[in-house]
Structure 1
């Protein structure tokens, strides 16, 4: 099973071919246009299932299946957490809960970025367990931006997830420490000298045992398409 997250920086219909060469089973795409606008070239593989969320049809959060996995939004989806979507994923043999994330909610005066993830962890705490759980997407956050006086900062989000048996696949696989990542996922304004790691895939203990690779896209290959590079996580069957 291969899961990829990539903030495409809009106009996904023109860029899908490039990320699809990595053959994702599931693809999470922040800043993707509404499905009505996804007029792919005729030879571009079409998704088997798709969910989309947002108010701006040019820039929402899309979740695609390019395999036999199918999606169902969980009934307790909190509409106030607009871009953190709890989804039941199944292919009839294997199922898990996936939280697709684009931590970006300007309408929330109490915090539009990592604070959204903090609130989601508390709202969905009964679903967040050390089995069959993945949180993946653009968190718009890193430990380097922690506000020490604020409980809902990045480091505390990471700790809260780890207390529930859920860990960052990248940090474990590459033996990295939060805040000192060697591999950026964002180049602000597409400048190579402004690198940050703000996209993540967290997984529960049972799934972590199956991680065979975690790849981060490189600047030279992806910068022509987006200010973000993809995270590609492969799990053994």
Structure 2
């Protein structure tokens, strides 16, 4: 069983924020892997940030992809500075394993290319994943040696019908041929869906996310993404 910290080992009570250098260092100190999210800025820099908007973390009603990296830096320099993915890789330097989630954006091909080029020369253990099946497909075609995964959550959590129908339903499995499925811990709570996803992932590893101390789960996992254990 492998364990990955969700956006680093963050703890707001200790002022250690998600996707911060401090949270990543805590994960390294505990020798657990790191799950992180990457996005593109307007000028196509790859950055480490989860949300599409700055609202939740920074209180700013601005879209990440509408801003250049320098503009993001100016807006966030007094709170939590957003790291470039390249900077993150240099900081971790192979010390723990990584799960890199590629967030779909205005130019998925550019995101995949830039992420792939940065990971080509990275010496540590890593895999890539996405909710968007065409991103998973891109890595199958262009970096078949990269371990790749399809993210899946329960249908009610999707706000994008395309991602549910083509990604969450598993209908594109034959196109993407993921090495693993990353299931939200509630996936498979009903008998039929449990059977279906177990059959779908029968030749794949299973990752469960985001587990907390008493989270129920319905599959035996090869890896767990967790927080606040």
Give TM-score scaled by structure 1 length. Answer: 0.42
Which protein has the bigger helix share? 2
Greater share of residues in strand: 1
